[in-house]
Structure 1
């Protein structure tokens, strides 16, 4: 298939796939809202998204995506017009439509066609029509059939009634285009939009108009080329759809009229003037002015829009088929039949059908060029302000990964230069100033690279809305999912890694945590359970917390299951609540009485622990019987570079993350206490903290064996503290985290390694692991 497509066509298809996938992400949470509220604003938002997707897919001739989106659009049209009521099964059907579209988009992305989805698309469209028929409502796409114009239509109407080369049905062609002015007058399409959404709209709209303008100039050079027309049409069509979605009626109205003109040309029509490009370019300039006005005062004002629209309406000449109908040579049925099988000029098709002679067609062509007077070009508007500059670009993630790696190597090279042993003992004032400046720039570069990779968790959180809805339907439980902290930003790699853990935790919360409605009522709770999903930055980490108000974890049941499975020795009486709760993350562990299609096989929570270990994350569980459970995922903010403190014990050097260090000191003899079981404690003001001797962990010989001669560093993790005994603190430096080889495996107390300035490899200490050892 790719051999038959040009690189430009492939790029257009890939952009369509990306835009549609983004559209689906917006669509699913809004569809779920329909199950809770059926206000016009929500229905119209869903309708508009399906309409935009249908239009883009139809232009690219992805007929199966188009037919399903059209069927969904028709159902919603009946609902919003009051001809049928929205039922829960309709919401489920719309969700399944999103699933179909996702799969179809993946197919298109791989094969550049959706033919493989023909059977599924037909079945999905049929289910929509059955849903509409079951409510005794005629499908909305059958209504416009009786509205075919019987006289020669105006240019705008022409564009709206042109049969497609291979339409799904007559109703599909008739319902394809809707006059935006009529939509604005009869429907409430208002949508609460944020400044960020407007900024994104303006950026994309500017790119679309730039593409349309360049293609118009190319088309002017090659007026017989249809390739330029297709690209301009798609750009203006996308611009029109985006403008309509955001409620910018003026921009939508003008772009719709430009689209009508282009549609006439695509369908074999011609212009009534020899130079239509001036009017089209003026119209594109006017759209740019409307965007400028939007950024300046928030209104999509366009000067002299009526004269522009009149000039556009005057551009197309009547189609030859309409001229032949006016002359009584053929009837409308013949013209429509010719359009449906049109592989060459319409007049030639009618001659081949034996419905007209060549002379009659030639005479009609002559009449066609004389029917309308050339349109006077509208005056080109002057720009109202500076042109909108492109604000962002899409970059392959692999390129960003390479950038991060290169910056990491730059940090290592900087350390090797500044801490070069050859420079020890030398007074290099100028070098030190230059090195300080270089270090500042490298740090800023590293921080900027980190920011580039950071994305908000909102996309991940909003996908959970659909999951909760599906699980609620399957389990028969009523659930209210509350999201907060959606703007919290996390490294993209982290988002990908925690998606599965979050899904498994949510499934377990729905299946094991929340009670059925009757059980909740018996426990004097609201029959609708509440799940709260929150993200925030704390202690140099990202905390993602999932909390439910269900029955809580059954400590006795977990303990009994662990004893049965041989996971603990004895009766477990020496285990803390936290240690008991953490048993649920053991492979194959499950307390479910029966296996359901939601959970119960003892796999999910093990996946949570494994995925978090890949990114050096932690998971905490807290539960109150009868009140609910809170599971907290603690994730490193970045996976590449940290600020570290270089410490020495004997000849070994290690890095301690600075965020974990509270203070450092030499202890006084009276502050040291040894317990009966030989555990060393040090008093720090009013608290006693256990001592971890780093040389014992590394199995090396220290310079100082007595605590009073060594240096103690107070490290804190999750409210618990220890004192790390070292010989010397050597200084602070940026540390590039390198993973340990799989051959070495997990090293107790270490999270990775780094390369020092002299080329030596140094271990990076895992403070959480050290604290848990005590």
Structure 2
């Protein structure tokens, strides 16, 4: 690993990020907006990296093969490099210690133990906390104590007597030294993380932006070579490009950018160019990197023609540093050069003269030594630019802006309804207006769908966070668990992801603690020692279904009923209650059948939070269980939270919107199909089934046109396999409906999920079908 010399510091205060301990007191005042942006970008990228890192570490504990070890090693290596560049020393210390441990493992010098996996997980926890400090205070100094202790534990793990890797060890069974890939081959074989086409597109896009920034900086620097201010920006761009290329395993891009970075580092730390045409060589190298990106997009390989010539041209650029020449000749001390570089705003020689450390004659003599080594260098000829394959381009947008966009689209839908259904147009034959209104409706619908798609994100990030949780709970409880993730590509509204995170954690904790049995109990029951938890996501019936299944002992109906009787939640002995109603009792506040409360969970502790959080987004939770076989908990979440397709119905003078996805059919009942039960409940036979009747006018306290069922219209509504018939006077038609929440003053209204505004400006309630069905 390359050591940092006395002169490897930033050249000017304008480019150096003042993150050293001496400058922490005036951190916010000293940082420019560009520097703050760089730090926040580092925090975001590092947090994304940890999300990738944790699941891979858990996989390392289950399967310590060479590919997984290399993947974790490279992630820690990338994190160390980025943190070191910004001088977040405590993050760097921990990442470096973790990297060193993994280097011993992958080189076959020690065997990975379970304790090592735990330490690596602790490194992730430490880094998460440190990144929070960085995002708030722009330094990681409060983490000094934790960093020292954690690094010490990692070094102790490395110093303990290791068991030599044997031929049976996975680490020793394969080649332990990862050879660099051949020039022109972007190898990703050492990564356990799958490099998808989407990731490559994102890499190419960001890489192009970095190279464009470096190119602009070089052109600006070429106009005034004595001005070193652009150098810091150029160096950062090339450094980031090199790190990203190395992470993806693109050897050609990494080699060339690394050599370019070395040249820039020499210049910004007091060195000089040894050639007459340095900028031509530097710009040609940037063009070569762009060529590699172009080939990567078109051919899938980062091929750079004449790569060795580019490397040789760059190696010939720098002359000895001025500081090195002065120290070598005994004119100044190394400490004087470092002091001058730390406060450098002018050329190094002028600064040293100003400090009285050296005379102008001595500087001139040293500069003459530099100029004596000047030599011509021929860079490879520039080639005509090749067409670049089309690439997706992304931008980062504040979520609040997307929320405002969706709100505006909602208002547009309302305005469209008010225009098309304007009472002033009733009875008029307006053929041209009808065509224009139809086209406008089509465009508004497409706009609405596109706005919703923008907010959709895959559930993979949420699901993969559960890998670490299951690992920690497994270690704490002594249970063996195999977590299977299905449907990670399923996309959900970002707001939904944030809302269901806590419910999913609560459910998973309960499943681990009370659902899955200890190994000895599973063996006695004829099961495998390792329990299985399946976490899946899919789109069904206009909803997102997130399902968690375990193959544990299942829910104990008798215990739940006994607890419910004790708490006064049910009357009688509960024998007449269906299983579904009994199992839903676990969501009552404070309800628990646990004989003892563990630090993992208590049955019911937090389960009421699950239901409350889901109700915020109009979601539902469904529980099913088979004793001895396991439990399934299904979260059913609306696909969209803003605009739905609705059917406008009327009863008397009142109107309501019914979600179309819940409507099965509508009909006028015949007298023989109507049945009145002994307790005066009205039932209607629909083919071979009897469904209860809900009179809408009773819910709205409105006077209907008809009281007899045979005179009205019954709309059959279905929710989770159960149906009811809603009695209305008239079906007015279908329309897009913007969901508006009810004010806190009104509170929750039974059977109502919100309201909307009709074309004539009236406020109309939206029927909550799930609530109607569950309260029958």
How far, CA to CA, are the matches of 1:542 and 1:55 in structure 2?
Answer: 40
Partner Cα distance (1:587, 1:268) in 2: 68
1:605 to partner: Cα distance:
0.3
1:340 Cα deviation after fit: 8.1
* Kept after mapping to 2: 8 A contact 1:282/1:381: no
CA distance in 1, matches of 2:521, 2:162: 38
CA-to-partner distance for each residue in 1:446-496, whole Å, 9 max, x for gaps? Answer: 000000000000000000001001111111111110000101110000000
SS in 2 for 1:395: coil
Deviation at 1:359, TM superposition (A): 4.8
| Residues 666 and 712 in structure 1, CA contact (< 8 A), matched pair in contact too | yes
Change in CA separation of 1:533 and 1:337 when aligned onto 2, cut-off 3 Å: farther
CA positional deviation for 1:291: 1.0
Query: Does the CA contact (< 8 Å) of 2:554 and 2:627 recur in 1?
Result: yes
1:154-165 residue pairs with structure 2 within 5 A? none
Describe the SS at the equivalent of 1:224: coil
DSSP-derived class of the 2:685 partner: strand
Moved more, 364-373 or 477-486: 364-373
The 2-side partners of 1:613 and 1:693 are apart by 24
Q: Quick one: structure 1 residues 427 and 186, their matched pair in 2 at CA, closer, same or farther if it must change by over 3 Å?
A: closer
Which of 627, 643, 649 is the equivalent residue of 1:641? 643
Give the Cα–Cα distance (whole angstroms) in 2 for the partners of residues 420 and 219 of structure 1: 64
Match of 2:658 among 653, 656, 665: 656
Kept after mapping to 2: 8 A contact 1:181/1:253: no
C-alpha deviations, 1:227-258, integer Å up to 9, x for none? 42222222212211221222211111111111
Equivalent residue number for residue 441 of structure 1: 443
How many angstroms apart in 2 are the aligned matches of 1:336 and 1:77? Answer: 34
Query: Is 1:42 equivalent to 2:43 in the alignment?
Result: no
Q: Is the 8 A contact 2:256 2:285 kept in 1?
A: yes
Question: C-alpha deviations, 1:589-634, integer Å up to 9, x for none?
Answer: 1111112211128431011011011011100110111111000001
The residue aligned with 1:413 is 415
- CA drift at 1:180: 8.7
**Deviation for aligned residue 1:655:** 0.2
Q: Corresponding residue for 2:52?
A: 26
CA contact (8 A) 1:44 1:188 kept: no
Distance in 1 of aligned mates of 2:331 and 2:481: 63
Q: Equivalences for 1:454-469 in 2 at 5 Å?
A: 454-469=456-471
CA contact (8 A) 2:187 2:250 kept: no
Following the alignment from structure 1 to structure 2, what is the Cα–Cα distance between the partners of residues 10 and 354? 35
**Taking structure 2 as the reference length, what is the TM-score of the superposition?**
0.90
The alpha carbon displacement at 1:377 in A equals: 3.8
Say whether residues 1:124 and 2:150 are aligned partners. yes
Report whether the alignment pairs 1:402 with 2:414.
no
Residues 180 and 252 in structure 1, CA contact (< 8 A), matched pair in contact too:
no
**In the alignment, structure 1 residue 487 sits paired with structure 2 residue 489:** yes
CA contact (8 A) 2:187 2:249 kept: no
Q: Provide the C-alpha distance between the structure 1 equivalents of 2:395 and 2:209, rounded to a whole number of angstroms.
A: 11
Superposed displacement of residue 361, structure 1: 4.8
How far apart are residue 651 of structure 1 and its match? 0.6
Match of 2:80 in 1: 54
SS of 2:691's equivalent? strand
User: Could you tell me how far 1:116 is from its partner in structure 2?
Assistant: 2.1
In 2, are the aligned partners of 1:648 and 1:727 still within 8 Å (CA)? yes
C-alpha separation in 2, matches of 1:198 and 1:565: 57
Provide the rounded CA distance (Å) in 1 between the counterparts of 2:662 and 2:223.
66
Mapped pair 1:304 → 2:306: yes
8 Å CA contact 2:111, 2:163 repeated in 1: no
- How far apart are residue 380 of structure 1 and its match? 2.2
* Contact residue 186 and residue 249 of structure 2 kept, 8 A: no
2:105 alignment counterpart:
79
> Which string of whole-angstrom CA distances, capped at 9 and with x for unpartnered residues, describes residues 389-419 of structure 1?
6611000000000001010111111111111
CA gap 1:239/1:180 in 2 versus in 1, 3 angstroms? farther
Residues 292-341 of structure 1: CA deviation (Å, up to 9, x unaligned): 111111111111111111111111111235445776x489xx64895488
In structure 1, distance between residues paired with 2:339 and 2:472: 43
The answer to whether the 8 Å contact 1:714/1:721 transfers is yes
**What is the CA–CA distance in structure 1 between the aligned matches of 2:358 and 2:96, rounded to whole Å?**
37
Match of 2:272, SS?
coil
Closer/same/farther in 2, CA of residues 598 and 431 from structure 1, 3 Å limit: same
- Residues of 2 paired with 1:222 and 1:14: CA distance? 31
| RMSD of aligned residue pairs (Cα, Å) | 2.6
Q: Which of 590, 597, 609 is 1:588 aligned to?
A: 590
Query: 2: CA distance between counterparts of 1:375 and 1:180?
Result: 28
Contact 1:54 1:69 in 2 (8 A): yes
Shift of 1:275: 3.7
**What is residue 477 of structure 1 aligned with on the other side?**
479
Displacement, 1:722? 1.5
Q: Secondary structure at the match of 1:526?
A: coil
> 1:38, 1:86 within 8 Å by CA — same for their partners in 2?
yes
Q: Distance in 2 between matches of 1:301 and 1:621?
A: 55
Contact 1:50 1:69 in 2 (8 A): yes
1:95 pairs with one of 121, 131, 154: 121
Contact 1:646 1:730 in 2 (8 A): yes
Cα separation, 2, equivalents of 1:354 and 1:4: 28
2:675 counterpart residue number: 673
User: Secondary structure of 2:289's partner?
Assistant: helix
| Distance in 2 of aligned mates of 1:593 and 1:391 | 56
Equivalence for 1:66? 92
Q: Does the CA contact (< 8 Å) of 1:180 and 1:256 recur in 2?
A: no
Would the alpha carbon gap of residues 48 and 272 (structure 1) be closer, same or farther in structure 2, given more than 3 Å must change?
Answer: same
Q: Which runs of 5+ in 2 are unaligned?
A: 1-26, 165-178
Q: Deviations over 1:615-673 (max 9, x none)?
A: 11100110111111000001010100000000001111000000111111112222222
SS at match of 1:35: helix
Equivalent residue, structure 1, for 2:251: 249
Which among 33, 39, 44 is matched to residue 7 of structure 1?
Answer: 33
Residues 645 and 733 of structure 1 are in contact (CA less than 8 Å); yes or no, is this contact kept in structure 2? yes
Q: Is the 8 A contact 1:180 1:244 kept in 2?
A: no
2: CA distance between counterparts of 1:411 and 1:317?
67
Matching residue of 1:237:
239
Count residues with an aligned counterpart: 731
